Amino acid sequence: MSAIDAYVSNEPLISNSAPGKDVFAKILGVPFDFTSSFRPGSRFGPNSLRNAFMNIEIYSHTLNIDLEKLSYLDLGNLQTADVMRMVKRVEEVVKEIVPAHKMAIMGGEHSITYGAFSAMPEETSLLIFDAHFDLRDELLDLKFCHATYLRRLLEVRKPKNVMVVGVRAGIQEEWEQAAKEGIQTITMDDIMNKSVGSRLEDFVGKSEKLYVSIDLDVLDPATAPGVGNPEPNGLSSKQLLAYLYTLREADILGFDIVELCPPYDNGSTATLAAKLMAEMLCIAQ
Ligand SMILES: [Mn+2]
């Protein structure tokens, strides 16, 4: 090993190269927030997550997996201010990565998921953690934005299984649209009433392949204040991690962690996002 390899970090990128280990995952930042409707700033999300990632422990005691002994490559940031170009470019980049490698995306706003999921094979199920459905037909005259991406996605693509966990906010039309589209849900009401049952395990069991999208606003704003559209009465970090650990046996092709909005963060959202990145890399590995 050269002195450069031994002593010099590749910051701000979070790549890791472990001797004798091939790269198993590729990480992409998408600093895109140009359709933000409430609190802009998620364009600063990827680098904020990276900074936090470099300052937390990445050995998962829960999973007994040490990320420092695995190799993964941070590709950097995909830059554009045009939403349709963004989703197209994300799709093209992800297609070059999956299924040879696991795909990990850092947002940026939730519209990124449209591009990433479009690159997934036909049989892939979509599991979303989000306070919102993002099933609006339009918002503030925008047909394609963070609040409509799932509506647009389902217009062109019908995944066999779609589930939204932690959902608690939407206009009435979105709840009706979710039922019409056959979207499975674990709502916050279900979670509060302890009526979740084995729905998540059943969903995962029926999913040949899986893409997981984590909108950080699924968490309670007290836990994760640094998001674009905070929504009260959300999950705790313990609840979210417990759900994610149930995905260990699933064939996860890729995942994203979106809506980290550093201008509204006190640091806790970024460190939690980094923890989720570390655990999800271990879970998907
Ligand atoms: Mn959301």
User: Would residue 3 count as lying in a domain?
Assistant: no
Distance in angstroms (rounded) separating the CA atoms of residues 153 and 135:
9
For residue 216, report the distance from its CA to the centre of ligand 1, in Å: 7
For residue 229, report the distance from its CA to the centre of ligand 1, in Å: 6
Q: How far is CA 139 from CA 22, 35, 134, 205, in A?
A: 44, 9, 10, 35
CATH number at residue 202: 3.40.800.10
Q: Are 60 and 278 in contact (CB under 8 A)?
A: yes
For residue 94, report the distance from its CA to the centre of ligand 1, in Å: 22
The torsion angles phi and psi of 75, rounded to 5 degrees, stand at: -80, -15
Q: Quote the number of domains for the chain.
A: 1
Work out the average pLDDT over 224-230.
98
Look up the domain containing 204 and give its range.
Answer: 10-284
Residues 60-82 pLDDT 10s = 999 999 999 999 999 999 999 99
Residues 260-282 pLDDT 10s = 999 999 999 999 999 999 999 99
Residues 127-163 pLDDT 10s = 999 999 999 999 999 999 999 999 999 999 988 899 9
The torsion angles phi and psi of 178, rounded to 5 degrees, stand at: -60, -45
SS3 of 128, please? strand
The strand pair at 59-60 and 65-66 is best described as antiparallel
Task: Please tell me the predicted confidence (pLDDT) of residue 8.
Answer: 84
For residue 33, report the distance from its CA to the centre of ligand 1, in Å: 13
SS3 of 195, please? coil
For residue 145, report the distance from its CA to the centre of ligand 1, in Å: 12
Q: Is this prediction's pTM over 0.95? A: yes
User: Would residue 184 count as lying in a domain?
Assistant: yes
For residue 83, report the distance from its CA to the centre of ligand 1, in Å: 17
User: Would residue 230 count as lying in a domain?
Assistant: yes
Report whether pLDDT(18) > 90: yes
